[in-house]
Amino acid sequence: MKILQMVDVPWDSGLAHYALVLSQGLKKKGHEVFVSAIPGEKPWHKAHRLGLKTVPLVTLKGLGPLRRFLREHKIDLINAHTGKMHSLAVAAALGQKIAVVRTRSDARAIKRRPGSRFIYKHTQRVIAAADYIRDSFIKELKLPPKKVTTIYQGIEIPDDSVKPFPKYPVMGIVARLDPVKGHRFMLEALPFIVASYPSVRLRIIGQEENIKTRQLYAIAARLRMVSHIDFVGYQADVAKAMGECTIGVIPSIGSEAVSRVAVEWMVSGRPVVASKVGCLPEIVQEGVTGLLVPPKDAPTLAAAVAKILHEPAKAAAMGQKAHTKAEERFSMESFIDMTLDVYRAAVGELV
């Protein structure tokens, strides 16, 4: 199959990562994949690093050249990853036997807009990165349930991904430093945890984005918790960083449409304490692979972490179950195979 993936975001977001990991997996399966992205931006460079063919992104003004590209390369299917690219994909495919698939892997609310009926009439299939996104398509846009499929992003699962737990309890947050990731609430939860577990440490892993490390440090200083925290910044080897922790904490207050980090914690064999936002309630199985808490609730977050720390054997069992669930639900093989099933169904409608 010949496939064009269309991604117009300039940053290496969860949305872009979903599209590029998918493209790489499809290529490994023997399909010819082109990635249309913004030249010079992070997804463009990442596509090149992954060995993917890139096509400079165009707008509606460049519709003619895009339609010629589709004809010349005999593209079978366009997969659009944003609303703007979806409209462009439909316009480019009109009058040609080219299937259009819309993938939604971001957390913004789905709303009916002018032209929605026309666009989705000419869209053969929709992929949602989580069930709550799928439900929104069906409820808000009145799409037939058979037209919308949930496919969670896949992840490579190495054989040696589960490391022994550290000697002393360590909580880890792996996330960009951004208000939506809820670092503040984890810091506010820390004094409650330290009161019962004086040896506990919190590792804050991730690069600065909309928050500076010094701002989080100031909160920690006010709470007199600096001695319990390691600000380690960006880590290229995320799996290694996770393996040095006992518990993964995801205290986000929003976003998490895909939550790759939740799956990465599970692959690492670590129990997860996560906020009930985005797809996290679908990924973290309450009482089995971790615990779920309301967002912005530091005392409840602290109690959930303490509950896991209080029973080390149960924490280890949760971590093992998390790893098993990750293998069952989030393998790369399953991700690609399910996507190809949707693609084949979309193309089949045009035959």
Residue 164 domain flag: no
pLDDT above 80 for 279: yes
Residues of the chain above pLDDT 90, percent: 86
- Number of domains present in the structure of the chain: 2
Do 248 and 342 reside in the same domain of the chain? no
Q: Does residue 6 sit in the same domain as residue 26? A: yes
Q: Looking at the predicted structure, is the pLDDT value of residue 351 above 80?
A: no
Residues 322 and 338 in one domain: no
CB contact burial 112-139 (16+ within 10 A = b; e otherwise): eeeebeebbeebbbbbbbbebbbebbbe
The two counts, helices (H) then strands (E), for the chain are 14, 13
Q: Name the DSSP letter for residue 199.
A: T
User: Nearest to residue 320, comparing CAs of 282, 271, 274?
Assistant: 271
| Phi/psi of residue 139, nearest 5 degrees | -75, -50
Beta-strand relationship, 53-56 and 201-205: unpaired
Q: Is there a single domain that holds both residue 22 and residue 132?
A: yes
Mean of the pLDDT values across residues 3-17?
Answer: 90
Nearest Cα to Cα of residue 81 among 148, 132, 36: 36
Query: Looking at the domain assignment, is residue 69 inside a domain?
Result: yes
Give, to the nearest 10 degrees, the angle between helix 298-310 and helix 312-329: 100
Task: Specify the DSSP class assigned to residue 336.
Answer: H
Is pLDDT of 186 > 80?
yes
> Which domain does 119 fall in, by range?
2-154+331-348
Looking at the structure, tell me whether residues 307 and 194 fall in a common domain: yes
Shared-domain flag, residues 198 and 134: no
Q: Please write the tens of the pLDDT for every residue from 20-59.
A: 999 999 999 999 999 999 999 999 999 999 999 999 988 7
Residue 162 lies in a domain: no
| 273 — pLDDT class (breaks 50, 70, 90) | very high
What's the first-to-final CA gap in the chain, in angstroms? 14
pLDDT on residue 258: 86
One domain for residues 234 and 96? no
My answer on whether 224 and 270 are in the same domain is: yes
Higher pLDDT, 182 or 254: 182
What would the mean pLDDT of 206-227 be, rounded to a whole number?
95
Q: Could you tell me if residue 185 is inside a domain?
A: yes
- CATH at residue 262: 3.40.50.2000
pLDDT at 222 over 90: yes
Q: Is residue 163 part of a domain?
A: no
Q: Is the pLDDT of residue 107 over 80?
A: no
Is the same domain home to 281 and 322? yes
User: Does 160 map to a domain?
Assistant: no
Give the torsion sign (CA, 313, 315, 318, 322).
negative
pLDDT given at position 11: 84
323 — pLDDT class (breaks 50, 70, 90)? very high
Query: Average of pLDDT values for 309-322?
Result: 94
Same domain, 336 and 279: no
Where residue 136 falls among pLDDT bands split at 50, 70, 90? very high
pLDDT at 61: 79
Chain-centroid distance of CA 107 in Å reads 10
Residue 174 — very low, low, confident or very high, per pLDDT cuts 50/70/90? very high
- Write down the pLDDT at residue 52: 95
**Cα–chain-centroid distance for residue 340?**
19
SS3 content of the chain, % helix, strand, coil (to 5): 45, 20, 35
Residue 211 lies in a domain: yes
Residue 126 and residue 217 in one domain:
no
- Indicate the average pLDDT of the chain: 94
Lowest-pLDDT choice from 47-56, 121-130, 138-147, 159-168: 159-168
Q: Is residue 161 part of a domain?
A: no
pLDDT tens for 91-105 read: 999 999 999 999 998
The reported pLDDT for the residue numbered 90 is 96
Percent of the chain past pLDDT 70, that is, above it, reads 100
Shared domain check, 41 and 9? yes
